[in-house]
A = this chain, B = another copy of it.
């Protein structure tokens, strides 16, 4: 008798260097790590639930009419979908069941809210994994989720050799 699949929610975001539709180094790293270290050959045992949270654009100078807003919203959503396509395509290639979601808002709040709603078995969040100084300023999404998400949380730091020169880039 096969037990229900283990449902893993994975927070993914876009690269700060390349922008959409490129996924960040930490998102791709976390994804590949899950496949290699957790899923392994047991592709039927797991389901990946990708969650991409888009932060509403604060620069409103280019909006001249309500139509502009709608158009930008559509474009933003389309770029988010392209980002998720990368992960969904890889899952289909490997034969791992998955689904993908786009939400708007503050990433840390939205992720914890979605955990409550979707009830995954655990949540995976990538973290830039910087030095002791930068750690004060970044990594707030993962830290918040470890404390507040109502499920186990796996934090995957980016390894040093993957980090770009400017540690804020990803």
Mostly, the A contact residues are mixed
Interface core residue of A33, A37, A156 (most chain B CB under 10 Å): A37
Q: Is the CB of B156 within 8 A of A33?
A: no
Q: Is the CB of B152 within 8 A of A152?
A: no
A46 to chain B, nearest CB (A): 8
Interface bits A37-71 vs B (CB < 8 Å: 1, else 0): 11011100100000000000000000000000000
A22 to chain B, nearest CB (A): 22
Q: Is the CB of A38 within 8 A of B6?
A: yes
Residues of chain B with a CB closer than 8 A to A156's CB? 152
Residues of chain B with a CB closer than 8 A to A153's CB? 154-155
A126 to chain B, nearest CB (A): 9
A147 within 8 A of B: yes
Interface residues of A (CB under 8 A from B): 2-3, 6, 33, 36-38, 40-42, 45, 121-122, 135, 142-143, 146-147, 152-157
Apart from the given pairs A6-B40, A37-B121, A40-B42, 17 other A-B contacts in the complex at a CB distance below 8 Å? A2-B41, A3-B40, A6-B37, A33-B152, A37-B122, A38-B38, A122-B154, A142-B146, A143-B146, A146-B146, A146-B155, A152-B154, A152-B155, A152-B156, A153-B155, A154-B154, A154-B155
